[in-house]
Structure 1
Amino acid sequence: MASPKSPTRPTQQNPQPNFHDFFPAMVGNLGGEDLIGELCKGFELLMDVDLGVITFESLRRNAAAVLGLGDLTDEDVRCMINEGDFDCDGALNQMEFCVLMFRLSPDLMEASRCLVTEAIEEEFGNFTRRR
C-alpha cells in the first residue's frame, strides 16, 4: 500500500494510481532463476536477521533505511504484511514474500491468467475430443 503522500495512492483528484510495473521487464531480463535470486536478496534486506522473516518492525525499519519509504504509516506496513501473510503468523517468510511480489505485478498476473486459461482450454478440448 502506498503512503498518503505517494503519487501511487488514489485520490479524488487522481482516482487511478500512478504505477509503472517494472517486474515483467525484470523477469524478461533476468530469467526465472536469477529473478528468484534477486527476490531472495530483497527479502534478506527487509527481514529480521534473528527471526529469518519480515516482521512489522523489520519492514518498518528497513522500508525507510533500505527502500527510502520513510513516509509509510503503521497502517501501510501492517497492510503490506497482511497482504502476503498466508499462514497468518504476522510475518512474511521468504516464500510468502516472493509470491507477494508476483501478485503485486498486474502485468504478470494477467500473463499468468492467460497461460492458465490456455492450459484449461487445451485440456478441456482434449477431454471433449476423447469422448
Structure 2
Amino acid sequence: MAGNKMNEFQDMLPVMASKLGGEGLIIELCKGCRLLMDKEKGLVTLESLKKNSVLLGLQDLSDDELQIMVTEAYLNGDGVLDQMEFCILMFRLSPELMHQCKDLLDHALQQECFNAACFHSK
C-alpha cells in the first residue's frame, strides 16, 4: 500500500525553487519542518511525524515505514531530524532538484577554474 503512495509522488521542489529562488525555497522547507516537529523539542521525531503525517498525506504508512524515513534522514545518529537534516532530506528526495544543484555546482567550479587560470596567466 505504501509503495503505491510513494509511486504517486510528484516532485514539486524544482517548481518551487524556480518560483521562489534558493532562499525562498529554504524558507518554505523550514516552515514545513516546523509543521512536522515536536514543538517542545524543536525536532522532527517519530512521534511528531506520526502525529502530523496527515499533513503530508502519509497517514497510511506504518510506524516502521515512518521510522525508516527518520532513520534514513538523520545525519548525526541521534534518531531525530533537525531543520538542516530535514532540508537535506527534501533535496535528496528530489532527483530533478539534485540534478539542477549538480549542474549549478559544476558551472560554479568551471567558472572558478577559469578565473584561477586567468589570474595565474597574468
Report the TM-score, using the length of structure 2 for normalisation. Answer: 0.82
Cα shift at 1:127: 5.6
Structure with the bigger percentage of helix:
2
Task: Show the counterpart of 1:57.
Answer: 47
Runs of 4+ in 1 over 6 A off after TM superposition: none
Cα gap change, 1:37 to 1:116, in 2 (>3 Å) = closer
Cα shift at 1:97: 0.7
Distance 1:84 1:58 in 2: 15
1:110 to 89, 96, 99: 99
2:83 is the alignment partner of 1:89: no
- Over the matched positions of the two proteins, sequence identity in percent amounts to 45
Structure 1 gap ranges (5+): 9-17
**In the TM superposition, what are the counterparts of 1:16-95 in structure 2 within 5 Å?**
18-64=8-54, 66-95=55-84
Opposite residue 4 of structure 1, the aligned amino acid is G
Task: Show the counterpart of 1:6.
Answer: 5
Report the TM-score, using the length of structure 1 for normalisation. Answer: 0.77
How many residue pairs match? The answer is 120
Kindly report the root-mean-square deviation, in angstroms, between the aligned alpha carbons of the 2 structures: 2.2
Distance 2:67 2:100 in 1: 29
